[in-house]
Amino acid sequence: MRVALLIILLFISGYSFAETKDKTSQCLEGLKSDSRFSSIANHVELDGQSTGSMLDDKARPDNRQRSAIADWIDARSQCVNLSPSQVAVGLHMAFLSIVAELYNGQITFGEFNRKWHDMLKEIAEKYGN
C-alpha cells in the first residue's frame, strides 16, 4: 500500500513539475500576440526562441519602440519568475546583458538579434539542449 501511494505521489509531483516548468515557455509564447509589443514584433522574436531573418535589420528603436522594449523586459522577467529554472534564468540574464544596448540605441535590431542568436547557441550548448 505504501509503495502504491509513493508511486502515485511521485507521478503527481512529476506531473506538477512538468506543468510548472512549462509555464515560462507558455508565457513567453504569449508575448508574440501581446499588442504592447506590436511596434517591435517585426524586429525581434518576442518569445526569444530564435532570430529568424531579422539579423540584417538596420533599424534602431524610436521612442515608441523603446517604450515597448521596456515593457518587453518587464514581461520577460515576469514569465521567467513563473517557474525559474537554471536554463530560463541563464537565458534571461543573457537577454538582460544585451537588451540595454538596444534600448539605448547603441545597437540596431539586427545587431541585437545576432548577439541574442549567439547567446542562445552558447547557452544551449552549455546546458545540452
Half-sphere exposure of 56 (CA within 13 A, CB side): 1
Rg (CA), the chain: 18
Cell of 126: 552549455
- 68-97 mean pLDDT: 93
Report the percentage of the chain scoring pLDDT > 90. 57
Please report the pLDDT score of residue 127 as a whole number: 72
| Per-residue pLDDT tens digits for 43-65 | 999 988 766 678 889 999 999 99
Assign 129 to helix, strand or coil: coil
Instruction: Pick the more confident residue, 88 or 129.
Output: 88
User: Is residue 126 pLDDT above 90, yes or no?
Assistant: no
| Per-residue pLDDT tens digits for 5-30 | 334 433 444 444 444 447 998 999 99
pTM, entire model:
0.79
Q: Are 75 and 85 in contact (CB under 8 A)?
A: no
Q: Are 23 and 82 in contact (CB under 8 A)?
A: yes
Q: Are 28 and 78 in contact (CB under 8 A)?
A: no
